[in-house]
Amino acid sequence: MIKLKVDTFKELTNEVKDNELAKKMNISTTQLWRVRLPDEDPRHNDPGQDFVAGALKAFPEKRFEDLFFLS
């Protein structure tokens, strides 16, 4: 299962509004919001392939391992 490194992602996106980031990643703001929720929140979603691809596109200087981990 792929998990987001929330702290790292938060540092990268701190100055960017959610709607701008979602557009840059080519995902919905809802998808962005759900992935950021804690795992124990029933509304949480793990990042899927669209989220992963969007994050790597939005931050081309980062590698998969910089933003995500496998659990």
Distance CA(5)–CA(24), nearest Å, equals 19
The pTM is what? 0.93
pLDDT at 67: 98
Distance CA(38)–CA(61), nearest Å, equals 26
Number of structural domains (the chain) is: 1
From the CA atom positions of the chain, what is the Rg in Å?
Answer: 11
pLDDT tens digit string along 1-59? 999 999 999 999 999 999 999 999 999 999 999 999 999 999 999 999 999 999 999 99
Give me the torsion for CA of 25, 51, 67, 43, rounded to 10°: 120
pLDDT at 9: 96
Which residues fall within 8 angstroms of residue 6, CB to CB, at 6 or more apart?
36
User: Which residues form the domain of 62?
Assistant: 2-70
